[in-house]
Amino acid sequence: MRWTLKPKPDSKTVEDLQKALQVKRSVATLLVQRGIDTYEVAKTFFRPSLEDLHDPFLMKDMDLAVARIEQALSNDENILIYGDYDVDGTTSVALLSSYLKTKSDRIATYIPDRYDEGYGVSFKGIDFAHDNEFTLIIALDCGVKAIDKVAYASEKGIDFIICDHHRPGHELPKAVAVLDPKRDDCDYPYKELCGCGVGFKLIQALASKEGQPVEDLVAYLDLVATAIGADIVPVTGENRALAYFGLQVINTNPRPGIQALISEVKKEELTITDVVFIVAPRINAAGRMKHGNYAVTLLTETNEFLAEEYAKEINIFNLDRREADQRITEEALTQITDNKEEDRLTSVVYHESWHKGVIGIVASRLTETYYRPTLVFTKSGDRLAASARSVQGFDVYNALEACSEYIEQFGGHKYAAGLTLKEDNYEAFKQAFEDEVSKTIDRSLLTPEIKIDAQIQLSDITPKFYRIIRQFAPFGPGNMTPIFMTENLKDTGYGKCVGENDKHLRLTVSQGQQKMVAIAFNLGNKLNLINNKKTFKAVYSIDENHWQGNVSLQLKIRDIKG
């Protein structure tokens, strides 16, 4: 791995902040690195407030969206809440449908079938709306590129409101309103909302027109926090405030569906990371293995007993998902080695029988193994469908755009995208993608990078230091857990490999008189660097170790070098 020590920020700025906050220089340095450089900015960072949320009407078309929904409610129109089948989509649908059902009994939800309809707005969904006399569709986490679908709906007398956060194309659909902070002509101050975040801004706008304060909407933020974590959007600015209050709801009074998913977790306080690894995969598993409707049903259920029953079902889907993901990953890795493609700059694999619901996870696993832009294809009807994943610093969306002559349809983000193409174009696309990446990628990006916030001594790690670091949470892109580096470490002599196949390292590190317990996941192969009391350096985050009722600080080592 590449170790990159972040540049030291301006000394005077650090000094001024240190004095203003009355904290250690090391803490002030960490804050300035994150763009927190004044007392006022630090106050907002450490004490998020609902007052930090922007006026929803700053978003382009929000007034049009609110006016159309108010019209639909006053005219008793049938409104269909349409969303994608992933966590962001299903939480968005749960959020908006729950809110609108407090105003009308003419609200229904629609999640497209991953296999029959594919991603985003579908003609089948519009036909369903027409057959059931819906006159307004509100699409969440999708729709910003659905030009032909919105035109088709318009022909059938159905209006569209789109709430999306993906990059728009050159042309926008002719909907009543297109809410998307990434629109070029949208001046909304924060561009990184997830789909559920855009949905929340819509209910905030609707509520404000009725004189309701945003405090009345806090109960919906468990859904927003879950989507922020799952969709890997930056945990900065408005997202940080939404995640902060959403986590409070998850930890104190979550909706029955989320409570049922976390009921077996023996932890006092769940973090965004826990939400990403415990709640999100289970919600996702519904859309991956069965149907996204299961997730919406769970997330909108108000009866605790029924929510527990739905959660049990979803847990079974998640076990099936894990099994499929493990098997397909092994097959994909074998395909790469059998075809002698280890030296390529991209991984592009295909098998017609691979489960479409897990190819995104498999793409992530392959990226972890080979660390290069990756596409995993499977058969989907008469087309091939793929999930793309990228490496830090490389825009896979732009690379796909450069190969668009071979692609039928694609969409997504810088680091994750989806696409379909004709089977006849697979080999040509595979080569074009390799050529494009070879031409545009900085070769250093093909080695995983650990960005180190600061070099410190073990003696710097005190309970007070850790308490302040904890207040940097919630963590995520744009506000990652602080990573430290310490040199001249030694193991006390009892370091050993632990876990299945000796995958992990457990050791006690010392530096002078200071000692700390450490765990190094997936670094069992580095035992030779620390045994026999050799001197080494390590990169790590600081964590708590809970053992038999005792709580102590420990190092969570990310990498070791001799």
What pLDDT, on the 0 to 100 scale, is given for residue 545?
Answer: 85
| Residue 116 pLDDT | 85
- Residues 264, 266, 268, 271, CA torsion sign: negative
DSSP for 8-45, written as a single string: PPPHHHHHHHHHHHT--HHHHHHHHHTT--SHHHHHHH
pLDDT tens readout for residues 63-104: 999 999 999 999 999 999 999 999 999 999 999 999 999 999
Q: Considering only CA atoms, which of 183, 184, 182, 192 is closest in space to residue 238?
A: 192
Among residues of the chain, what percentage have pLDDT more than 70?
Answer: 100
Query: How much is the pTM?
Result: 0.91
Yes or no: is domain 56-312 CATH 3.30.70.2190?
no
The whole-number pLDDT of residue 504 equals 96
The secondary structure element, H or E, covering residue 337 is helix 304-338
Q: Please give the structure tokens belonging to residue 235.
A: 């945990």
Instruction: Please calculate the CA angle 197-146-102 and round it to the nearest 5 degrees.
Output: 40
Contact predicate 196/95, CB 8 Å: yes
Question: How far apart are alpha carbons 458 and 485 in whole angstroms?
Answer: 10
CATH 3.90.1640.30 domain span(s) along the chain: 56-312
Residue 534 DSSP label:
-
d(Cα 24, Cα 369) in Å, to the nearest integer?
39
Range from 189-193, 224-228, 264-268, 398-402 carrying the lowest mean pLDDT: 264-268
- 162 CA to centre of own chain: 21
Mean of per-residue pLDDT scores for the chain = 95
DSSP secondary structure letters along 290-313: I-THHHHHHHH---HHHHHHHHHH
| 335: enclosing H helix or E strand | helix 304-338
Question: H or E element: which one contains 485?
Answer: strand 484-491
Tokens of 238: 């408005």
For 355-376, the DSSP string reads -GGGHHHHHHHHHHHH-S-EEE
Compute CA distances 330 → 93, 173, 323, 349, whole Å. 35, 41, 11, 12
What does the pLDDT read at residue 105?
Answer: 97
* Contact partners, residue 137, CB within 8 Å, separation at least 6: 79, 80, 82, 110, 125, 126, 129, 153, 158, 159, 160, 161
**Residue ranges of the chain that CATH labels 3.10.310.30:** 339-446
Across residues 327-342, what is the average pLDDT? 94
CA distances 370 to 216, 357, 365, 374, 438, Å, are 47, 22, 9, 9, 15
- pLDDT mean over 6-20: 96
At 173-209, the pLDDT tens digits run: 999 999 999 999 999 999 999 999 999 999 999 999 9
Tokens of 430: 């595979």
Q: Among 126-135, 483-492, 493-502, whose mean pLDDT is lowest?
A: 493-502
CATH architecture of 339-446: Roll (3.10)
Average pLDDT over residues 481-499: 95
Helix and strand counts by DSSP (H, E) for the chain: 20, 19
The residues near 157 (Cβ < 8 Å, ≥ 6 apart) are: 130, 135
Q: What pLDDT is stored for residue 549 in this prediction? A: 77
pLDDT at position 548: 77
Token output for 74: 């006053």
pLDDT tens, position by position, 287-300 = 889 999 999 999 99
Nearest in space to 414 (alpha carbons), one of 449, 445, 377: 445
For 2-7+450-561, CATH number?
2.40.50.460
Rounded Cα gap, residues 194 and 213, in angstroms: 22
- Rounded to whole angstroms, the maximal C-alpha distance in the chain is 79
User: DSSP assignment, residue 479?
Assistant: B
Query: What pLDDT is attached to residue 550?
Result: 84
Distance CA(259)–CA(304), nearest Å, equals 9
Q: What does the block give as tokens for 26?
A: 């090391």
